[in-house]
Amino acid sequence: MIRILECRGVRKITSLAVYPLDYHATKEKIVEELVQRGRKYIDLIGVHYRSYKGQAFWKKDGQPEKFHVNIRVVIDAVSCRQMKPNYFNHSSREDLDYDLLWLLSKDRSAGNNHPAYGQGETERKISCSREDLLLCSPTVFGFCLPTKQWGQYFSASLVHVFN
């Protein structure tokens, strides 16, 4: 949430802390970056093993607790929801985004087989409009293997791990 302070008189809309994307000078570039981020978010539905270098966080008492990592993580929203059910309280847009990811993850797994065990993952494409992709969250939920802790990771910093 960003608060726009009250002001007197006329001001340029671009001088505000937040304003509609239509008024941004590089709107097309921003839209394309958001669409690419949205595609990556959708591609990370299910269980994935990735390398991550950058800032991650976990909310503690409603405030983000940030930490810098250079690790390998397992991206898995369904298991995160099962292991940390009290983390999600539907009070923010992010929590609602998580529920969408969780439902899509459940929808992609066949039967009761969990994709983490190499069974049940279907390759069905999820169709999203360009507008839907613009609204995808920049973070995904994952498990840090070295520290054995759950966290939220920026999808742009995740890379494939090759053996």
- Cα 28 to chain centroid, rounded: 22
Q: What residues contact residue 75 under an 8 Å CB cut-off, 6+ apart? A: 44, 47, 48, 49, 50, 140, 141, 142, 153, 158
Please tell me the least confidently modeled range out of 25-29, 94-98, 140-144. Answer: 94-98
- 101 band by pLDDT with thresholds 50, 70 and 90: low
Mind listing the pLDDT tens digit for each residue in 124-133? 467 788 988 9
Instruction: Kindly report the average pLDDT of the chain as a whole number.
Output: 78
pLDDT tens digits for range 134-158: 988 899 999 998 888 898 999 888 8
Q: What pLDDT sits at residue 34?
A: 93
